[in-house]
Amino acid sequence: MTTTQRRWLTQDAYDRLRDELVELLAHRSAGSERGDGTVDSESDQFVDERRRRARIREIQGLLYNAVVGQAPPDDGVAEPGMVLTVRFDDGETETFLLGARDGADLDGLAVYSPESPLGAALSGARQGEQRTYSVPNGGTVRVTLLRAVPHGHHRP
């Protein structure tokens, strides 16, 4: 049995994805012209159409499984919809939203997916807890969750 993970989105991100989906569904690739006035080859049209259909399926899945406007509980546990402040071993701190990256623009607030190495490591962590995760070069990074508050309740 497969379970589909609910994806936390801001209302803004949800609206942008919905608008993109409407635009993609309205687009008709037949007879598309390139900027230089020549008609794309059938092969290019086929590839573009496959990409468009794949993006439509991706957005439909995100929107169907979206949790919008429901803040998680203010319990200090890292989960989607929470703004996390972390400290790395080198002393550097970072604040970001744990949620869907697609279409997110939160006034400069970075967004990490729960499936990203950092997001996966922190999911379920409580304030003060240390976690580790692997980075692409094969190393391991230790990070401490300093603060976890619901999006909309955080102060920059």
Contact in structure between 79 and 5 (CB atoms under 8 Å): no
Quote the mean pLDDT of the chain. 81
Mapped onto helix, strand or coil, the DSSP state of residue 141 is strand
Contact in structure between 103 and 59 (CB atoms under 8 Å): no
Distance CA 99, CA 116 (A): 10
The predicted-structure confidence for 111-140, as pLDDT tens digits, reads as follows 888 889 999 999 999 999 999 999 889 899
Tell me the whole-structure pTM to 2 decimals.
Answer: 0.64
Both tokens of 3, joined, read 């379970």
Check residue 90 and report its DSSP letter: T
The predicted-structure confidence for 61-85, as pLDDT tens digits, reads as follows 888 888 786 767 678 899 888 899 9
Structural domains in the chain, sorted by start: 7-68 (1.10.287), 82-150 (3.10.50.30)
Both tokens of 107, joined, read 């006034």
Burial class (CB in 10 A: 0-12, 13-18, 19+), 34: exposed
